[in-house]
Each structure stands twice: as structure tokens, then as C-alpha cells.
């Protein structure tokens, strides 16, 4: 970083030498690192992580990505911390994640498959729900990937199909985003901010027949259920 240069890979290069299948082999050190962040705190801050996050994007299950998914699954089973994922919804990557988690013995009802709102493929979403996971309808405001109206429509449609109890709503917004020049973010994604759900999404969902009870389920009850289940398991 001192040179201004850095690289991005599926896992940090350190892990290419240590861990299952690596040159020096050994136990999965990522799992222990994740567990430490949850049980003792991140670095020396004392701040304990409350959720595990992992990603499967367009390249799919590369060896590094699969290793991370399995390490996350193992850390989840040891701690009980819920899992939330990033996916490429158009390529149905959530199904790959569920398969790996299931192989590791994860209770899929403790997993949020993220970015499902990028998809309007009801069949794909129904498959994820049938396996037990929550759908993260969580990119409201990222209209460059899927337009606002499509995002509203798919949530309303899944509510009509009786799945309000299997969805959570969010916007994937952040305080700082370095993938675009700072001044370009509000131009490219003007609705990508923390008030979008309250100001725009809730009224639009109501106009499409989503009830106050369903909204409360998605915004309050489901997140509470995800986090209130504590403790590891075998």
C-alpha cells in the first residue's frame, strides 16, 4: 500500500501457503480467524463481529471462493453467528452457496442469500426459499444493476406468494465507496443512501399491495429472528 499499488485475489495470498490443500497444508486457519473475530473481537478493538459474510460472484466457485465458503460455514457452526452472502443473482450463484453450506452441515435457515433482489427469476428465488434460506432483497438504490420498479415488483410478487417471512430489505449502501470517483456516485446512483428504504421503497411497496404487517415482518421480525438464534451446533 505504501507504493499506491495493491492486488485483489479470491483469497489473500497468505492463505495460498497455509490451510487444506495449500503448499504447507494444515488446518483451516481462516476458520479460527473468523471465530476469534466473533468471540474475542476484531484485531485489538474488542468489537465482536456479529455476522459472517462471504461472496460468490461471476467467476463462480473458484478454489479460493469455495475454501472461503467452507471456512465461513465452519465458523458459523462453531459460533452460531448468522451467514449473509454476496451473490451474482443473474447466474444463480446462491444455489452454489447453499450446496457448499449444506455439505458442511449448515442449517440453511440461518443463511441470508444476498442480492436476490437483483433477479426477477421467481423460480430461482423459490428454490432458495425451498432450501430454507432468507432472500436478501438488499440492493435498493443500485438501479444500474436492476431498476427500482423491478426491485419493487419482485418483492411485491414474492409477498403475494406468501414469502414475506423469508425476505429482508436493505440497500447495500455504505459510508465510503472507492469503486467510483466520489463525485460520480450520486450521479450514477442518486438513490443509493440510507433513507431510500424509508422515503421511497416502503411507499412504493404499499402501492403494490404489500401490507404494513408484511413490511414489519421483513424489516423487523425477520432480522430479529436471524440474530436471536445463538450458539454453535454440530
- What is d(CA 39, CA 156) in angstroms, rounded to the nearest whole number? 38
Question: What's the CA gap between 57 and 86, in Å, rounded?
Answer: 7
Ramachandran angles phi, psi of 224, nearest 5°: -60, -45
What gap in Å lies between CA 33 and CA 176, rounded to an integer? 25
Is residue 51 situated within a structural domain? yes
DSSP state letter for 193: S
Q: Mean pLDDT of all residues in the chain?
A: 93
pLDDT of res. 69: 97
Q: Is the pLDDT of residue 6 over 60?
A: no
- What is the tally of structural domains in the chain? 1
Q: Is residue 4 part of a domain?
A: no
| Predicted TM-score (pTM) of this structure | 0.91
Q: What is the pLDDT of residues 71-95, one digit of tens each?
A: 999 999 999 999 999 999 999 999 9
Which has the higher per-residue pLDDT, 19 or 211? 211
pLDDT band at 2 (very low <50, low <70, confident <90, very high): very low
* Residues β-bridged to residue 52: 83
Res. 175: pLDDT tops 90? no
Among residues of the chain, what percentage have pLDDT more than 70? 94
Residue 137 has pLDDT above 90, yes or no: yes
Q: In whole angstroms, what is the distance from residue 152 CA to residue 157 CA?
A: 9
91 is a domain residue:
yes
Which CATH number characterizes residue 87's domain? 3.20.20.140
Cite the DSSP H helix spans in 80-147.
93-103, 122-130
Tell whether the model's pLDDT for residue 26 goes beyond 80: no
- On whether residue 62 sits in a domain, the answer given is yes
Residue 18 forms part of a structural domain: yes
Domain assignment present for 125: yes
Q: Which cell numbers in the block locate residue 154?
A: 419482485
Helix axes 93-103, 63-79, angle to 10 degrees: 50
Contact 74/104 with Cβ under 8 angstroms? yes
Is position 3 within any domain? no
Q: Give residue 45's pLDDT band: very low, low, confident or very high (50, 70, 90).
A: very high
Dump strand ranges (E) for 92-178: 111-113, 134-137, 167-169
pLDDT given at position 12:
65
Task: With beta carbons less than 8 A apart as the criterion, state whether 171 and 138 touch.
Answer: yes
In this prediction, residue 3 carries a pLDDT of 47
Residue 1 lies in a domain: no
Q: Which domain holds residue 140?
A: 13-228
Amino acid at each position: 500500500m505504501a507504493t499506491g499499488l495493491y492486488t485483489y485475489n479470491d483469497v489473500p495470498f497468505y492463505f495460498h501457503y497455509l490451510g487444506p490443500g495449500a503448499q504447507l497444508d494444515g488446518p483451516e486457519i481462516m476458520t479460527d480467524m473468523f471465530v476469534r473475530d466473533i468471540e474475542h473481537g476484531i484485531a485489538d478493538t474488542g468489537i465482536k463481529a456479529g455476522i459472517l459474510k462471504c461472496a460468490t460472484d461471476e467467476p463462480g466457485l473458484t478454489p479460493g471462493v469455495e475454501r472461503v465458503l467452507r471456512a465461513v460455514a465452519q465458523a458459523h457452526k462453531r459460533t452460531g453467528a448468522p451467514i449473509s452472502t454476496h451473490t451474482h443473482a443473474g447466474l444463480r450463484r446462491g444455489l452454489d452457496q447453499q450446496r457448499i453450506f449444506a455439505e458442511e452441515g449448515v442449517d440453511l435457515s440461518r443463511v441470508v442469500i444476498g442480492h436476490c433482489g437483483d433477479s426477477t427469476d421467481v423460480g430461482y428465488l423459490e428454490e432458495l426459499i425451498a432450501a430454507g434460506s432468507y432472500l436478501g432483497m438488499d440492493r435498493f438504490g443500485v438501479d444500474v444493476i436492476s431498476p427500482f420498479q423491478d426491485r419493487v415488483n419482485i418483492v411485491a410478487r414474492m409477498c403475494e406468494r406468501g414469502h414475506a417471512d423469508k425476505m429482508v430489505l436493505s440497500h447495500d449502501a455504505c459510508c465510503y465507496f472507492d469503486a467510483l470517483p466520489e463525485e460520480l456516485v450520486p450521479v450514477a446512483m442518486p438513490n443509493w443512501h440510507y433513507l431510500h428504504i424509508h422515503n421511497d421503497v416502503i411507499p412504493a411497496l404499499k402501492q403494490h399491495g404489500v401490507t404494513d404487517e408484511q413490511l414489519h415482518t421483513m424489516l423487523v421480525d425477520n432480522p430479529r429472528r436471524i440474530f436471536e438464534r445463538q450458539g454453535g451446533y454440530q
